[in-house]
Structure 1
């Protein structure tokens, strides 16, 4: 099974961005690891350096003592003659050094007594080494031999060099070592070089033990820091999670939710402050909800109560309007105005009742399969005479598609009437184009005018109740100021969108997008906002 590192990286990134506790623990562990690594490296380096220096100084002192002992032994043969005595003196010196190193517990020490090169006379005694052959001599570098050979002209008595000693059992393995050389003179035979090669494996074992101890201790310390940080972060983050959960429940409408208060620390103070804020908000929301219900009930009751006298006034007005030709001119005009204003009053009451139903959540959709192209055509036909009085031409562009949708035709017709009525009022006599298009999941209708347009501030308030961009502007359709607000509620009731685009001097465009099936979900609209204007110039009427 192949390891998917991208998936793990994505999960880790998500965990890092979503969990404060994880970020705190991870940052603490990383920073602690860096700090422990730096301190551990410094301690390891200091211990290693001090251990090597102490061992080196000890071996240098032992080598200097061995040099003195060998030189004393050689000087005692100064008055004796013959090669036998010289050979015996060299052998005695070699054995003396072996015994002294054995007593000093420097096991594994190698010894070599080598004649300095380029000296006249016979090579008596012969070179001596603790290991036969040239194995010992190969551990002594030419640079060290050159320095030891010139020792009699310098103040230094012994010279040293770090080396790697090959293992006797494994040719590829080596052990740290130290070779110390000094010069001695044998009367009658010249100068000889005394080399002591020490195996520092014991010191290396001590250093390795120190390293492993520091490593295990560092890892244990980092783990302990991580656990402590996790516990502390959990103690701190847990109240925050409780506060976040409580805030989400309050936002969802569960106004009775509160944070538990324990103790007198900062978290408890935060909980008390939060709960006090929640109490205040709950009181305000309950008060506003009560006022809203009273207002809704008042509007609904007033609207219902006004219907009876308004019906009487309308009947009386109709009687006067039917007999207007028998009245003097001023009285006839009064009868006409009375009938117009009574009709507008009836529309206002109807809109107020509809808005009160929306506010009370008592509106129900009555959907049925509807051909929206035919619905748009019927709406346009009903408003063509009104548009003609303003000099505007109504055009329909329907390129084809899935135009049948499961909608409440009465509400969709009301939306179209409101949008077309506004376009006629603000179209400045220019053509008004209605676009309709669809896809497999949605149907969109756009009403585009080329009138005065709106500013950005006006677009933000265009769906507000009773709001008008220009209160002094005369309306041809005699609207109540609630048309767009009701249209927005009708669109939302279908699960659709009602959006606006406008620019000063370029006109406005309202786009209604509805799902083709009831309870459908919208992801995009089949029409752009505003739609492509090519069809508005090249096709006056394209009715499906």
Structure 2
């Protein structure tokens, strides 16, 4: 056999771009989707999204907080306006009295010089400032009316720090309209903090010098402190009330949703195989109806499981008994057929041809019976391994040599290549049977194209892969190739015959070795069947030989999925590995522990038949994508009920044994 590897282009699949990379590429929708995905992975967000109690409490707390903020805003505005209006009335009344008193004092003043008017003005303005202190007055100023044309004038009495409080608009109103006018201003108290204030202005007439303007400044510091105190009380009370309401809402929602949580926990146990649960039913509301419906469902499932156990036991017993009972008559038939076949040269041409056909069909019948007996042993959990150190490469080479005539008759070139140390602790008989099934299948489905066989070893594993370039399979077909009696295309002519049990038995043999048997296929691009075995029994497989990864097949699957998405189920991270595997295990620990997350696999109760106990989907190895595996051993359960399962022909034909 030729040991050269056919050159194949290796496709590289780029990893998904980062958020900033997508932004730089102006892929806005993809960047937002990626950002949303990463945000949803945050622990707080995941907890919020996974808990109805948390969402309900947060929503009610938010609604309560919004209502309280609106209430605080309206109360604060109402109180502030009320206090300000009341204070404004007091200030205007006080300012009116001070202005009248000041004008009366100026009218009764008897002076004969400007200096006397100046002294009197200082005294009166100072008195008014002191007198208004009881009403919150903090300043008084006297300014000359710019429209006064008299030649005589006195100096203006002003406070430099408060002079800027008197605006042009206020002075204009005082000068043109007369009367009392006011304006809100911002003052600074003794601590230097800004406080609200009011400036009240009016016009007065002084003897000898004419019209002047007087301005009184009032502080609202006390009122501002009152408003601050009210706001603090409101905010503190709101915070306490919101905290109490949040706790109460959380407690109420938690209590209300307790039946729903209990039902969810029971559903997880049911999915894990525990049908002995019974939920308490209190009341007649929707949650009580949910609990009652779940109780009814588990009761029905228990009854169905009990019926299925009985049916499965009868089916296993029937297959086992019939298989063993047929061995005796078959041995007699074989002896007679062998005698006739050995004497065929002495028979007529027609009888000789009949003797040859009889001999072949007896051989086929013998193989079918052997497969049925092996399946019955596996179902009865009595299959045993005879372990020894075996060179897998030499074993496979022997299988290839034994099928050389078949390959030549079909025009198929078989190429074998070995990488590294391929010695492993295995049962040589079972591994030979697996290799025989895979090689014969590949030759039959190769359609005169080459078949590449690779045997490679790593530190903890030995892998054997058979790669053909035939019609390939869709994922719908590939998911059933390890099912018993499955044929994707029953009309296909087979060269070697078969029972439809070859790949199913191979999967079971791989399981007995704690190994992996997988298939990766693409329509019109062929298939790659890979057997991965631990180098030593009882050890875990930590690495996979890179020689059995098929990047070209992965790339072909991606291209095919673009045009035929119904045929291919692509993994999310194709670039990680092209080897898609599930481990088939027979020693799965059983129990009724609740499922904690999506990665925890369902487990069956211990009282189910052995074939169901073995039908546990396996854990994928680290760093391997999850989707492209087709070893769905749970499909064997369906095959017990309908052993002749077939599906319509697809674009690509399935491979069976």
Does residue 224 of structure 1 match 2:244? Answer: yes
Mapped to 1, the partners of 2:411 and 2:331 lie a distance apart of: 35
CA distance in 1, matches of 2:217, 2:391: 106
2:530 pairs with 1:511: yes
Indicate how the Cα distance of structure 1 residues 532 and 100 shifts in structure 2: closer, same or farther if over 3 A, else same: closer
Distance in 1 between the 2:320 and 2:48 partners? 54
Q: Which residue of 2 aligns with 1:538?
A: none
Residues 1:54 and 2:86 aligned together: yes
Give the Å deviation of 1:483.
0.7
Equivalents in 1 of 2:352, 2:140: separation in Å?
142
**After superposition, where does 1:522-533 map in structure 2 within 5 Å?**
524=544, 526-528=546-548, 530=550
Residues 1:419 and 2:438 aligned together: yes
Q: 1:120 is matched with which residue?
A: 150
Q: CA deviation at 1:142?
A: 7.2
- How many residue pairs match? The answer is 512
For residues 91-102 of structure 1, what are the structure 2 equivalents within 5 Å? Answer: 97=128, 101=132
2:51 match: 19
Q: If you compute each CA radius of gyration, which structure gives the higher value, 1 or 2?
A: 1
Kindly indicate whether the alpha-carbon contact (under 8 Å) linking 2:456 and 2:548 is maintained by their aligned counterparts in 1.
Answer: no
Residue 63 of structure 1: aligned partner? 95
Say which SS state the counterpart of residue 138 (structure 1) adopts: coil
Cα deviation for residue 506 of structure 1 reads: 4.5
Deviations 1:255-293 (A, max 9, x none): 111222223322111100111112112212221222112
The answer to whether the Cα contact below 8 Å between 2:463 and 2:545 also exists between their aligned partners in 1 is yes
Whole-angstrom CA distance in 2 between matches of 1:65 and 1:531: 98
Contact 1:112 1:196 in 2 (8 A): yes
Q: Within 5 Å, give how 1:393-408 maps onto structure 2.
A: 393-398=413-418, 400-408=419-427
TM-score by length of 1: 0.83
- Structure 2 residue corresponding to 1:140, chosen from 143, 163, 168: 163
- Give the 3-state SS of the residue equivalent to 1:369 in structure 2: strand
Partner residue of 1:465?
Answer: 484
Q: What is the distance in 2 between the residues matched to 1:99 and 1:467?
A: 109
TM superposition shift of 1:523: 6.3
SS in 1 for 2:163: coil
Query: Partner of 1:45 in structure 2?
Result: 77
Shift in alpha-carbon separation, 1:41–1:406, aligned structure 2, 3 A: farther
Aligned to 2:640: none
C-alpha displacement of 1:35: 4.2
Quick one: distance in 2 between partners of 1:488 and 1:477? 20
Runs of 5+ unmatched residues, structure 1: 1-5, 129-133, 534-544
Q: Cα offset for 1:204?
A: 1.0
Structure 2 stretches lacking a partner, 5+ long: 1-37, 554-657
Q: Which has the higher helix share?
A: 1
Q: Report the counterpart of residue 139 of structure 2 in structure 1.
A: 110
Aligned to 2:519: 500
1:248-263 to structure 2, matched below 5 A, reads 248-263=268-283
| Alignment equivalent of 1:347, drawn from 362, 367, 387 | 367
Determine if contact 1:165/1:199 at 8 Å carries over to the other structure. Answer: no
RMSD: 3.3
| 8 A Cα contact 1:182 1:194, kept in partner | yes
Deviation, 1:156, is 4.2
1:259 partner SS: coil
Check the 8 A contact 1:444/1:526 in 2, yes or no: no
